[in-house]
Chains A and B, each alone.
Chain A
């Protein structure tokens, strides 16, 4: 079983990202489960969402406590919460940032990508509030590889509430541009 935790801010679409990832994994032939942190969501407040991916049906229904990967939609969250909490040894952190993996000092595999500029290039959201949740799935596909970019794009087209093509293209561009810190 592979478990993923998304960190975002209310309104950024972390929950939708977790759902689309589950959908893409399902298309890949896996069993999948996704859910929001069962909380009261307010715009701008830190939120979490989760995806589980497995080869066999997923029976457990408790929160994710030790994810294999964390996806950070908003780099400002790195200063206020410990995004690595419970992260399994050898786990991966995927961060939406204009910085590169070498700029971070985590004892984990780090992948970075600039979802904000990709989102703006594809006219997704505004500069004050870019929609980055589809681009990050492209980065996820590049970094984790258990879900192909093709299935990510298909899932986005099926599940994105608007601008399906633009969102799918943003994911593709993120896939191309993601920097994997562990590949020199």
Chain B
């Protein structure tokens, strides 16, 4: 009688290994080696497409290498990093990016949560409404940028046409310093509010109904129920959505490229757009690599702080 095969182990994936290898099977073809063989292509792809470029960019960031000029990549230590961190040009773009991230993500959070809250209170047509609201999110940012560029055109755009019909004057949406950044925030908000809405809706529908029923019995006001039941329970999920959106907004490139090309002047140039110029106008590959690495570091550090806060919130 053969020994019984254990049904579970500490690691479910190892169950199969309890079966002895077939007689005559080469030692090299053990389960572990088979697993390695099967995983290798994916690992190789990951190394080639993700890990290697990152490490290569890290190496180049310490050199004065230029992709077009050729020549050796001379080691210059932290020269690129120092230059970036002390550059007034970079500070300007960082401020623009910060205003954009705070403005766009803040607006999207308020609107997204508001819409989700309203939809969650409906019993009929919730699915249709949710689907309709999600449409902008499914479009390519380049397509969104192009049609908003036409809509915001000062001469023949539909937005100014509508403003004109109610007696308001023409607004130069894309060619004035203040309105250009505002336009970017509005377009990004139009596209990505549904993302926040979707996550918030998931949180809102997960709030146990008995809490509201208990509050109703205690004759709690609508505002009290929102403040003490809805918001605290949805808040952690909403913060995760905010984090995803903030990371996305931080590396904004496509909308800027299509809508304003960074203008007027450089007033809507974000950090990503600036990196593009450093990398492809002057082909200063070393500087652009350092710039990119710094952006990744900023995102990682801020995300870590954010996640710690989220964990504390969860523990609380």
Partners in one complex: no
> B residues bordering A, Cβ < 8 Å?
none
> A residues bordering B, Cβ < 8 Å?
none
